[in-house]
Structure 1
Amino acid sequence: MIYNFIKKYLGNPLLKNSFFLLIGSYFNVASGFFFWIIAARFYSIEDVGVATALMSSLGLVMLFSNFGFDHSIIRYLPINDKDKVFNSCLIITVISTIIVGFIYISSINYFSSSLSFIQDFKFMMIFLLFAVMSSITSIMGNAFVAMRSGGLFFFQNVLQGVRVLLLIPLVFLGSFGIFGSVGISYLIATLFSFLIIKKHIGLNFKIDKAFIKESLSYSSGNYISHVLMVSPTLILPILILNLSGEIETAKYYIAYAIGNLVLIIPDSLGTSLFVEGSHGESLKKNIKKSLIAVYSFLIPSVIFLYFFGDILLGFFGKNYIEAFELLRYFALSSFFVVAYSLFVPIQKVRMKIESIVKLNLLRFLLLLGLSYAFISIFGIVGAGYAWMLTHIVLGILIYLLVKKNEWI
């Protein structure tokens, strides 16, 4: 009976892809959990704080480098020439990553003087290499998702788990040892991805001008939207480093990392909803399935983190338990994040990019503005207040918009 249920469940493309995206994301979070436990035990809390800002810097470079092609590859790979779509997205992303990375490093003193050491030539070259590898891994991961090969996406995440094994050997590098462990794992995942992807797609490393022209509007709109959506979470560690120092940054990041145990649930199903919508599947039917799946996982996960999150924080060290209240706000806010996480992919499928840009601009302004104000008053728990209030406002607006247009 259980076997038949699992077989039927995995026979549905939406649920199958969601399943692999979900367990892939959970594996990533689980390995990240052990990664930060080991980092907290073998590195100083100051090193952890600086390392989180370094990884946020890497994330910002990736974010500003993709120009929306990480989304276009999901939207266009199923309906266009796979070789032209993949190679164009890959080459443009790699070139732009090098350029954006160099600009970011050159101007790092304007963002955070604590990270100015990456302007040293050796560190700069390593940072740029890791940035390129992480961008390639991202593009190839999205290609696996677009091909409905969620299993390959999952295995890619498994390979990135090697970062855990690299922490102790690199401890002599301090904060850059933590950062280096992540970067090397991207390098390994990139090599694996190339070996697999060439069996499905011809690698000619050429940019197809016709595809670029066709996808430019969609890619640029998604680029602006994605920058507005993701940048606040990447800017926050750097903001906290500047406002409160390395120790508070470390506490914030660990609480946020654990909070991702529930935040990835709506994100994974939202991504799968986007993929299935791009393949022409019924949005209305899949939304209902997604909502049931989201809350089936979400409710018990939030309850666990709300009551026992301090135990998880304790694994990192007694200093991190002070972030328990912040963790609770991250967990509770996930109930409100659901509306946002499902609404955005629906609008992507409907090609309503302008509405997503407006929504993400509001989220950008609210989250960063409230975080700056609340952190200055309440400390790092203020980031939790800002996170929850922002998504409550967004949830209300989305509900009013959906009701006005009679989409449900």
Structure 2
Amino acid sequence: MAVALPKNFSEVRRQFQEPLIRNSFFIMASSFVAAGFGFFFWMIAARFYSQADVGIATALMSSVGLLILISRLGLDQSVIRFFPSRDKNRVLGTAILVPTAIALGAGLLFIATVDLVSPELAIVRTIAPLYLIILGAYSVTWVLEGALNALRRSEHYFALNLLYGSRILFLVPLVFLGATGIFGAFGLSFVIGLFLALFLLSRSSVRPVLGVDRVFLREAWQFSAGAYVAGILMSAPNMVIPIMVLHVLGAESTANYYITYAIVSVLFMIPYAFTTSLFVEGSHGGEMKGSVLRTLASMFALLIPAIIVLSLFGEQILSLIGKDYVEGIALLQVLAVSALFVSICQTFISIAKVRNDIRSLIILSGFVSIALLGLGYTLMDRFGLIGMGYAWFTTYLAGTLLVGLILKKKGWV
């Protein structure tokens, strides 16, 4: 026994030193920290704010996420893809300046047309300066997070997510502002995080040069354009669904969906961590087949027991947020099982990015986006909020089957 323990510990250390495992661990730990802070954030918000305020705030936050997603142009993915081979300072400066300028322009347009686009969010006109500050800070930190991961400095990404937990401290002091207080607490953490991210990057000798590197843009465009389209298609539903629920079922149902999704997103963070690390390693020239197998094995080893635990104790977890949110238990259980199929689709997306197979990337992401939004709207109108859960499960099950067909056609299996 005395001999076996050091041997096992040495093996653990050896595995942890592999960039794929090490970065996956810190990205996953960051996700769990974010989820933990998010849980307490919404638990406190539910205690001090009305359900309607929570619903409006979540829609505001989703609108910010959607504007940033639209403005990315795929450059956040290009930072990871091209960091190993180009001037990091110029690449990062370009990836910050161009999308953030577009995001702020889109934010101004959204504020000006909110009565037509989403009348339920007319409050955005009265908080326009705050909205634009949060939008800009979130846009910049999004790129800086990708840069930290691209540098294989995911422990710094972990530190950044710890700092984001500061949003909890702002909730109670801002309660007099209603929905704006929740939104402000959410956004202020990104303003603080921006400065920490720049400091951590400087310690790795990376200091973004604000300007447009036209050579980088030309070289990255083919990859960026495809990654941009695929990123929008895959991520847009997460931003659109809360707004869609607000329109179809009202603010209280929006709060129920957002809180339930926030809890289940702990599961979605597992494939996000491993597949992000897989993409980073592939971009650095790592061997793919073995990395993919290790990624899948590690994900399912964590996902399956996590799904079981969350399904069994989901009602108790929701009750900690508030008794009004317990009705989301059925939605929580369906979304939890969907995580298995989400992980397979996410793994394929990382493979396609590394292989620069933009066509397959867009085919899968386009299918998922259209099916999830179309089925979600149809089934939610018929079955209520649980209809969105049915849409998640059906969409990603079909997406997994589509992945199998694509892999077989290309001879990758």
The one of 258, 264, 272 equivalent to 2:263 is 258
How many Å separate the matches in 2 of 1:305 and 1:159? 26
The separation in 2 between residues aligned to 1:90 and 1:222, in whole angstroms, is 17
How large is the Cα RMSD of the aligned pairs? 1.0
Q: Give matches, 1:234-245, under 5 Å.
A: 234-245=239-250
Alignment partner of 2:207: what SS?
Answer: coil
Which residue does the alignment assign to 2:208? Answer: 203
1:75 maps to: 81
Q: Distance in 1 between matches of 2:115 and 2:384?
A: 24
Out of 329, 345, 356, the residue aligned to residue 361 of structure 2 is 356
Instruction: Give 2:92's aligned residue.
Output: 86
* Alignment deviations for residues 300-353 of structure 1 (CA, whole Å, 9 cap, x no partner): 100011111001000011110000000001101111112101000110000111
Task: Name the CA distance, whole Å, in 1 between partners of 2:146 and 2:110.
Answer: 25
Percent identity reads 37
Tell me which amino acid in the other structure corresponds to 1:30.
G
Aligned length: 406
Q: Which residue of 1 aligns with 2:130?
A: 126
Instruction: Work out the CA distance in 1 between the residues paired with 2:116 and 2:344.
Output: 36
Aligned pairs for 1:95-106 (under 5 A) are: 95-106=101-112
Match of 2:139 among 135, 139, 153: 135
- 8 Å contact kept, 2:271–2:347: yes
The more displaced of 87-96 and 41-50 is 87-96
Deviation at 1:29, TM superposition (A): 0.7
Instruction: Please name the residue that 2:396 is paired with.
Output: 391
Within the candidate set 354, 368, 372, 2:373 is matched to 368
Report the counterpart of residue 40 of structure 1 in structure 2.
46
Q: Counterpart of 2:25?
A: 19
- Alignment partner for residue 114 of structure 1, among 117, 120, 123? 120
Instruction: Select which of 271, 278, 281 maps to 1:276.
Output: 281
TM-score, with normalisation over the residues of structure 2? 0.96
Q: Distance in 2 between matches of 1:319 and 1:139?
A: 37
In 1, Cα distance between equivalents of 2:43 and 2:35: 12
- Indicate yes or no: 2:280 matched with 1:306: no
Residue aligning to 2:69: 63
Report 1:137-216 matches (<5 A).
Answer: 137-199=141-203, 200-216=205-221
| Aligned mates of 2:11, 2:61 — CA distance in 1 | 41
Once residues 405 and 70 of structure 2 are traced to their aligned partners in structure 1, the CA distance between those partners, rounded to angstroms, is 32
SS at match of 1:38: helix
Residue 64 of structure 2 contacts residue 135 of structure 2 at CA under 8 Å; is this kept in 1?
Answer: yes
Offset of residue 119 of structure 1:
1.3
- Which whole-Å CA distance do the structure 1 matches of 2:207 and 2:67 have between them? 28
What is the CA distance between 1:266 and its match in structure 2? 0.8
What does residue 410 of structure 2 align with?
Answer: 405
Matched, 1:9 2:22: no
Query: How far apart are the structure 1 equivalents of 2:209 and 2:146?
Result: 19
Displacement of 1:28: 0.4
Question: How far apart are 1:135 and its partner, in Å?
Answer: 0.8
Of the three residues 342, 346, 351, the one matched with 1:341 is 346
**Paired residues of 2:35 and 2:262 also in contact (CA < 8 A):** yes
SS for the counterpart of 1:78 is coil
Shift of 1:405: 2.5
Using the alignment, how far apart are the partners of 2:87 and 2:29 within structure 1? 30
Give the distance between the partners of 1:8 and 1:118, measured in 2 at CA: 51
Quick one: which amino acid aligns to residue 86 of structure 1? L
Counterpart-to-counterpart distance in 1, 2:150 and 2:213:
19
Deviation at 1:374, TM superposition (A): 0.5
1:104-128 per-residue CA deviation (whole Å, 9 max, x = no partner) reads 22222223211112112xx111101
Is contact 2:198-2:207 (8 Å) kept? no
CA shift at 1:217, angstroms? 1.5
Shift of 1:101: 1.1
Does the 8 Å contact 2:335/2:389 carry over to 1?
yes
Q: Which stretch has the larger CA shift, 34-43 or 79-88?
A: 79-88
- Deviation at 1:201? 1.4
- Tell me the TM-score normalised to structure 1 length: 0.98
Task: State the alpha-carbon separation in 2 of the partners of residues 403 and 65 from structure 1.
Answer: 34
Tell me, in whole angstroms, the C-alpha distance in 2 between the residues paired with 1:102 and 1:64. 14
Deviations 1:54-85 (A, max 9, x none): 10001011101111111000000111111121
Cα distance in 2, alignment partners of residues 279 and 377 from structure 1: 48
Name the CA distance, whole Å, in 2 between partners of 1:105 and 1:15.
Answer: 43
TM-superposed deviation, 1:261: 1.2
3-state SS of paired residue (1:407): coil
More off after superposition, 308-317 vs 80-89: 80-89
